Structures are given as C-alpha cells and as structure tokens.
Amino acid sequence: MTSILLRASLVWFAILLVAIVNGAFRQGVLIPRLGVTLAHVWSTLALSAAVVLVTYLTIRWIGPVTAADCWTVGAVWVLMTLAFEFLGGHYLFGKPWVELLADYKVNEGRIWPLVLLATLAAPALAWRLKGL
C-alpha cells in the first residue's frame, strides 16, 4: 500500500498543478467574461472533470489492487486537498479563513464541494472504467 500511496501522492501533485492553472484561467478569463458566480461554477465543473481524467489516465500506474485501495487513495487526496487549501491558503498565502470558507457556500452558487466529491470518487471510478 505504501507504493500505491507514494504514486498517488505524485499524481495528486499533478492534479494540484492542473487546479492552479484552472484557478488562473478562472481569475483571468472566466470572471471578467462571466462574472464571479458563473465563473466559479464553470471552473468547478472543469476541475472536477480534469481530476477524473487525470485519474483515469494514471490509475494503472498508481496500482490499486482493490476497490478499497481506490477509496483510500481518494480519501488521502481529499485530505491533501483540504490541507493545501486551508493550511497552505491561510498560512502560506495569507488568505483569511472567511475567504477560504466562501467556496463552501453552495447556497450562493459556490459548488467547490463537488471537486472534493470528484476527488474522492475518481480513483474508484477510473479503476472500474478500466476494468481493473
């Protein structure tokens, strides 16, 4: 399981890079054209799809053997994402907690939790789609 989690962590860093590019695109292109709310919706949907795609392309290399391995990888990815988002966002990038929590206001059109759900489920989904 250790080698699976090591490879999964490397894939998570690739997903992180995709997320950073997605965020830059949202800020620089989508928000000026679509407004904040719609831009966040499109960005969230795009990132969710990208997480599933990256996972699909790398699931054999990650090497889960069972469905439980896949769910473990997904859970570790969610924990890494939350740690980066909250600890990195606040302590490294200086964002206030209220700003970090804004992405969880689903009633205001912020559907960020969908990315977390996609991140959790992506390894199991990719594993099943690949017939592994």
Nearest to 76 by CA among 105, 100, 104, 55: 55
pLDDT of 115 higher than 90: yes
The C-alpha atoms of residue 22 and residue 13 are separated, in whole angstroms, by 14
CA pseudo-torsion sign 87, 23, 121, 55:
negative
Q: How confident is the model over 109-119, as a mean pLDDT?
A: 92
Per the structure, the complete domain to which residue 61 belongs is given by: 2-129
Count: domains in the chain: 1
- Tens digit of pLDDT for each residue in 37-64? 899 999 999 999 999 999 999 999 999 9
